[in-house]
Amino acid sequence: MVDAIGYAAKHSFSRLKPLRFQRDEPKPHELQLEVLYCGVCHSDIHQVKNEWSNTVYPCMPGHEVVGRVTKAADGGKFKVGDLVGVGCMIDSCQSCAPCREGDENYCEGPNSWLATYNGPMIPAKKAPTGENIYGRDNTYGGYANLLNVREDFAIRIPDKLKPEEAAPILCAGVTTFSPMRHWGVKKGDKVGVVGLGGLGHMAVKLAKALGAEVTVFTTSPEKKADAEALGATHVTIEKEVTSKAEELATTPGTFDFILSTVPEKHDINAFVALLKRDKSLVIVGALEPMAPVDNQAVAFHRRSVSGSLIGSIRETQEVIDFCAEHGIAPEIEIIPIQQINQAMKKVEKGDVRFRYVIDMASLKDEDGGDEDE
Amino acid sequence: MVDAIGYAAKHSFSRLKPLRFQRDEPKPHELQLEVLYCGVCHSDIHQVKNEWSNTVYPCMPGHEVVGRVTKAADGGKFKVGDLVGVGCMIDSCQSCAPCREGDENYCEGPNSWLATYNGPMIPAKKAPTGENIYGRDNTYGGYANLLNVREDFAIRIPDKLKPEEAAPILCAGVTTFSPMRHWGVKKGDKVGVVGLGGLGHMAVKLAKALGAEVTVFTTSPEKKADAEALGATHVTIEKEVTSKAEELATTPGTFDFILSTVPEKHDINAFVALLKRDKSLVIVGALEPMAPVDNQAVAFHRRSVSGSLIGSIRETQEVIDFCAEHGIAPEIEIIPIQQINQAMKKVEKGDVRFRYVIDMASLKDEDGGDEDE
């Protein structure tokens, strides 16, 4: 075991505070990293506040991690000193069909994949066999100085990317890139992006780099200029569309693909009506019951409403390399970890352009105490 | 104009009663048929009762029609005396992309396709151009002695099929066959059919003939023996699945395709959880807002919830020929048209095994009068 420090919440109503803990020694197939930067994802907030009713406390978030390898087995893929990224997964069962086919993010092992924090995805008590194949529960994420990861789950960060800018690509980037690849977004396609936050702003950049004409749908008129600067050809205030839902229902749609990045329950009916025949709206932001979808709009043009969850390790390396090649970087604001609670409040209000990234050099060896607050 | 008779409802609260009316002379590209049989679809009831808020009165339903050609242009595809079928469409714009590509059921013309009754799908007042390209509104369907149809929209009925049994294939058959073809149901697939009514019972027969292993989900324990007789390998009472929705959410699904044929709003979350990764649940029964779908179950295995609307003319001919080749026929009960109101009540209660078909020889030249009842 190795002494480690990080920031964690002790309860659903408590702020994140310093926490001393111990990391395992890395297993033979694992790396240990010194964390340099960690992005702040809206999921971190959902998880800290137990908004998915599955949080184990203390909860130490962080799954957009860039760090430097400090421990690695000889002869492995990485060596000490390498710059690597870690996204939402640090391991998976390695034996189910999705894992064998390179879709680890859809791992069907008894505990699903091992989430970087609050893992595994299916804890022992919910697993069909009642076991935990990883031997670890309540994993602590990247709001820490050290992190372990299965070597195969570490992403090589190219020199062309700044480490602090690479971090958000590991979740926000791949979560939007993976469905665009899977549903075949290509040059000339008309792509809609609903919501312009951490995920949405990456979706705009990536879709544009794939050659698509991008329309951003946002509730915030003040984000119009931002959306255009990011590469959107059209910016539509959501209300302009949702108020015309009935009229749209009888008009053939023009969009090849729409990605909804809104991180909470919302009404997608008007956006479904914008899709061409046989096309899909894919929800990546909200992991909860959505507002009712009218099957008339879906069926009348054989449309689909689909969901997609982060992306595979292969796709994560692909999007990192794609960003390096196309000069794409997220818009970030660097904060010391001591500002994490204020930053989370701003993320909840949508008041961030567009991703906070924690500079982990700010972390000090202190203990937050036992008070709940 | 030709004198004609049929059964129609004058208001959303009135019974169907005899109505004398006039059919147009068929246009040069049209046939006129003497209707022999007409199936009773749940849509007929939705439309008669204005449950989709778009009914024009009088409403004369009927879109599962088999008849004999009485008028046809010389040199056309059909000649007087031929046995033909007419499904939900009697025409389409013929110029939009879906029409050119043989997907007339997704016609994007200003009035969409011309429904066999209560057509066109988009009336002039809702059309973007305010026009009606068909020159006909409030079409009267197959609960009548005569019907006109664009020659290209008439289906050839093979000798191997009894005309009264062919009728329900023209809507219930193609509506379930089309999505199974589109989503690629194949030999060995595990297919679920939710709801065992007119559509559901055809879905079971067709899926089995395609080589799938079929599971029926029904709310009615008394339909278990029926489902097995139709070809289902497994029959599951819906409550057994829906009550375990939470448990299912963490178990990998085993179904390649699930078709929901329930003709009203219902909760599909438990069924979504039964799908394999990357597979689809397709809703063909309900054309209305569904119960909220939890995107967690959708996204965690990259599933899709899709809709499909009837089928194309090509697919309608294909399913008719497929049924003839495989000896598939719907389970029907023949009624005289004078029993239509009682029959509709039974359909609403699910008390029919499995499709009423009206023997149009029962139709008499009488007028139902003007009273609303």
- What letter does residue A290 receive in the DSSP assignment? P
In chain B, residues with a C-beta closer than 8 Å to the C-beta of A291 are 292
State the span(s) of chain A assigned CATH 3.90.180.10: 2-171+311-317+331-362
CA distance B285 to chain A (A): 9
3-state secondary structure of B86: strand
**From the list B251, B295, B309, which residue is nearest A299 (CB)?**
B309
State the span(s) of chain B assigned CATH 3.90.180.10: 2-171+311-362
- Cross-chain Cβ contact A302/B308 below 8 Å: yes
3-state secondary structure of A169: helix
Closest CA to A308 of A154, A203, A216: A203
In chain B, residues with a C-beta closer than 8 Å to the C-beta of A286 are 295
Please report which confidence band the pLDDT of residue A245 belongs to, taking 50, 70 and 90 as the band edges: confident
**From the list B292, B305, B306, which residue is nearest A289 (CB)?**
B292
- Cross-chain Cβ contact B289/A290 below 8 Å: no
Distance of CA A335 to the CA centre of its chain: 19
Backbone φ and ψ of B208, nearest 5°? -65, -45
Q: Topology of domain B2-171+311-362, per CATH?
A: Quinone Oxidoreductase; Chain A, domain 1 (3.90.180)
Each residue's pLDDT, cut to its tens digit, for chain B (373 residues) gives 999 999 999 999 999 999 999 999 999 999 999 999 999 999 999 999 999 999 999 999 999 999 999 999 999 999 999 999 999 999 999 999 999 999 999 999 999 999 999 999 999 999 988 999 999 999 999 999 999 999 999 999 999 999 999 999 999 999 999 999 999 999 999 999 999 999 999 999 999 999 999 999 999 999 999 999 999 999 999 999 988 887 887 788 999 999 999 999 999 999 999 999 999 999 999 989 999 999 999 999 999 999 999 999 999 999 999 999 999 999 999 999 999 999 999 999 989 999 999 999 999 988 787 665 5
In chain B, residues with a C-beta closer than 8 Å to the C-beta of A112 are 250, 300
Please report which confidence band the pLDDT of residue A131 belongs to, taking 50, 70 and 90 as the band edges: very high
Note the pLDDT tens digit of each residue in B131-180.
Answer: 999 999 999 999 999 999 999 999 999 999 999 999 999 999 999 999 99
Cis peptide before A18 (omega within 30 of 0): no
Q: Is B128 on the interface with A (CB under 8 A)?
A: yes
Judge: domain A173-307, CATH 3.40.50.720: yes
Torsion A195-A198-A200-A205 (CA) sign: positive
Note the pLDDT tens digit of each residue in B178-201.
Answer: 999 999 999 999 999 999 999 999
- Cross-chain Cβ contact B293/A305 below 8 Å: yes
Cβ–Cβ under 8 Å, residues A84 and A169:
no
CA distance A125 to chain B (A): 11
Q: In this structure, which amino acid lies at residue B120?
A: P
Degrees to nearest 5, angle at CA B342 with B337 and B345: 125
Question: What is the residue-wise DSSP string for A338-363?
Answer: GGHHHHHHHHHHT-SSSEEEEEGGG-
Closest CA to A136 of A231, A214, A30: A30
Q: Where are the beta strands (DSSP E) in B133-268?
A: 146-150, 155-156, 190-194, 213-218, 234-237, 255-260
β-sheet bridge partners, residue B83: B68
Closest CA to B303 of B253, B247, B370, B235: B253
Q: d(Cα A278, Cα A71) in Å, to the nearest integer?
A: 49
| ipTM entry | 0.94
Number of residues that this document lists for chain A: 373
Backbone φ and ψ of A78, nearest 5°? -125, 160
Q: d(Cα B191, Cα B273) in Å, to the nearest integer?
A: 14
Q: Which CATH architecture has domain A2-171+311-317+331-362?
A: Alpha-Beta Complex (3.90)
In chain B, residues with a C-beta closer than 8 Å to the C-beta of A106 are 277, 300-302
Cβ–Cβ under 8 Å, residues B85 and B167:
yes
Burial of A245 (0-12, 13-18, 19+ CB in 10 A): middle
Closest CA to A370 of A122, A97, A8: A8
Q: How far is CA B120 from CA A67, B50, B90, B107, in A?
A: 62, 15, 10, 11
CA distance A319 to chain B (A): 19
Q: Where are the beta strands (DSSP E) in chain B?
A: 2-8, 17-23, 30-39, 65-71, 83-86, 89-91, 114-115, 146-150, 155-156, 190-194, 213-218, 234-237, 255-260, 275-283, 304-307, 332-336, 355-359
Q: Is B98 on the interface with A (CB under 8 A)?
A: yes
Q: Where are the beta strands (DSSP E) in B284-351?
A: 304-307, 332-336
State the span(s) of chain B assigned CATH 3.40.50.720: 173-307
- What letter does residue A51 receive in the DSSP assignment? T
Cβ–Cβ under 8 Å, residues B161 and B37:
no
**From the list B96, B251, B296, which residue is nearest A288 (CB)?**
B296
Tokens 């026009």 belong to residue? B131
